[in-house]
Chain A
Amino acid sequence: MEAKPLDSPTNFVNQLVVPGDVVLDLSTMANQTIKLGGGLRQDCDSITVMKAGKLRFTKPNKYWVESSQKRYVPCVGDTVLGIVVDTRADNFLVDIKGPALAFLPVLSFEGGTRRNIPKFEVGTLLYVRVVKANTGINPELSCTDASGKAAEFGLLKDGYMFESSTGLSRMLLSSPACPVLEALGKKLSFETAVGLNGRVWVNATSPSTIVLVSNAIMNSESLSAVQQKIMVDRLLQRVQ
């Protein structure tokens, strides 16, 4: 059994934490505002961990637990890929891999009026933005950005969609560009849409390119940047 240090408090930032660990003691930090992200909850005077993962901290006061799951926890402002499961009079019901179905109002498109409501069949893939997300109520989506413009949101035609974990989606969307996408982009031309809810859509002119890009992305989850470049080079060599 490891001995816990008694004289100095252990600092959990950038370390693995497990549900139940107390990572902050609010009684020792008075008059500070702390922002908690996903995976942490407040229990009277202590901040405890709800999900296993790495504890992250950015200045001045943001704490969150970084973990990668197959399901998604809806957050305001995220861009996700949703699949239409039903249509109602004033909402489309969209599945975004979260605990509840999300509502997409029929008017939340650029220039949307009662006369030009888009007709989405069941199973249509959409690139949408999360507008409202609270526990207990269905999240609300929108196909426009904050100013009301379409901005690439909406229906994704053709192409191929596959599921990934939320960690892989975040890696693909990280800036500077993710190594695997950069390496693929140098030799091939394709377009991708990445949803933070663990869905990725790839489109290219030929199906073989789509298959290649999808396989490269799926394999890159556990590889480092250098390993990703090597993997992509090997794949491209085999094809050409």
Chain B
Amino acid sequence: MEVDRADGRTRNQLRSLACTRGTLNRAHGSATWSQGETKVFAAVFGPKAGMKKNENPEKACIEVIWKPKTGQIGKPEKEYEMILKTTLQSICLLTVNPNTTTSIIVQVVNDDGALLPCAINAACAALVDAGIPLKHLAVAICCCLADGGYVILDPCKLEEQRTKAFAYLVFPNSLASVRRKGLLQVEVEPVEHGIITSVTRGVMPVEDYLRCLERGRAVSAKLSEFLRRSMQLQAPSESPTAVFETHS
């Protein structure tokens, strides 16, 4: 594999991951997620009684507030909020607490590429910390097209700015199951082979997009493993940091 990325990583190598849960005292659930230099805080408040207008009272309502590192809130922040809201709505079990609102606040601490996937990972960890009922977890990854036409994962800011196109992909986590694999006739594809969200920027050929999907899915298994381990290390009222270096 050619090693021609600025920080010496290979194509499929992620930056070092760190996840801490329970960082904020007042929030009902909170998490910090960092990938290399990109760092995001997420806080969850809820579920609280009451709904916004025009929302379905038979389901819980999820509200996302995106706070950038500097500057005023504008259209890019609103777009991130909308993407986060639809992604998190699809992993939460909305019928468990009808007529309630859960607020998720995402604060960007540092942006060094792959900001939205980092935020989605942080928000998912914060939802788990708050005890919101979820169908499964979500792991997010950014894949971009390098100059040579191959796919590189988890770009830093410089790589993201120079690339022709990139895709943010969100997959369900790999599930542990008591079912014996291979003995049951699986007619429907298992949940973990699905995809939750895909946001693309730029122009890329279809084959390259499919290659991004395949790479992203392969790495999502590693990310789920990291997420599961970071929950194992969690003791109540302590917030140990789980750090994971991935090499592939």
Distance in angstroms from A195 CB to nearest chain B CB is 17
Evaluate contact between A165 and B130: CB separation under 8 angstroms.
Answer: no
Evaluate contact between B236 and A18: CB separation under 8 angstroms.
Answer: no
Known: A70-B28, A71-B28. A18 touches B172 (CB 8 A): no
User: Which residues of chain B are within 8 angstroms of A6 by Cβ–Cβ distance?
Assistant: 180-182
Check: B55 CB closer than 8 A to any chain A CB: no
Partner pick for B175 among A20, A50, A222, CB 8 A cutoff? A20
Check: A90 CB closer than 8 A to any chain B CB: no
User: Which residues of chain A are within 8 angstroms of B100 by Cβ–Cβ distance?
Assistant: 99-100
Evaluate contact between A20 and B172: CB separation under 8 angstroms.
Answer: yes
B contact face: mostly helix, strand, loop, or mixed: loop
Q: What range describes how many residues of B lie at the interface?
A: 35 or more
Distance in angstroms from B49 CB to nearest chain A CB is 5
Check: B47 CB closer than 8 A to any chain A CB: yes
Check: A51 CB closer than 8 A to any chain B CB: yes
The A26-85 residues at the B interface (CB cut-off 8 A) are: 41, 46, 48, 50-52, 67-71, 73
- Bits for B36-54, please: 1 = Cβ < 8 Å to A, else 0: 0000000000111100000
Q: How far is the CA of A34 from the CA of B228 in the complex (A)?
A: 27
Check: B149 CB closer than 8 A to any chain A CB: no
The A174-221 residues at the B interface (CB cut-off 8 A) are: 221
- Among A6, A20, A67, A100, max chain B CB count under 10 A is at A20
Known: A51-B133, A136-B98. A68 touches B178 (CB 8 A): no
Evaluate contact between A101 and B49: CB separation under 8 angstroms.
Answer: yes
Known: A20-B173, A50-B93, A52-B231. A100 touches B99 (CB 8 A): yes
Total contacts A-B at CB 8 Å: 115
One of B4-12, B134-142, B198-206 at the interface: B134-142
Partner pick for A69 among B96, B131, B173, B238, CB 8 A cutoff? B131
Q: How far is the CA of A64 from the CA of B96 in the complex (A)?
A: 16
- Bits for B53-96, please: 1 = Cβ < 8 Å to A, else 0: 00000000000000000000000000000000000000001011
Q: How far is the CA of A20 from the CA of B196 in the complex (A)?
A: 14
User: Which residues of chain A are within 8 angstroms of B180 by Cβ–Cβ distance?
Assistant: 6-7, 9
The B215-231 residues at the A interface (CB cut-off 8 A) are: 221-222, 225, 227-228, 231
Evaluate contact between B135 and A19: CB separation under 8 angstroms.
Answer: yes
User: Which residues of chain A are within 8 angstroms of B182 by Cβ–Cβ distance?
Assistant: 6
Known: A68-B236, A99-B47, A101-B49. A11 touches B231 (CB 8 A): no
Check: B179 CB closer than 8 A to any chain A CB: yes
Evaluate contact between B225 and A1: CB separation under 8 angstroms.
Answer: yes
User: Can you list 6 pairs linking A and B with CB atoms under 8 Å apart?
Assistant: A1-B225, A19-B133, A23-B178, A69-B29, A101-B49, A135-B96
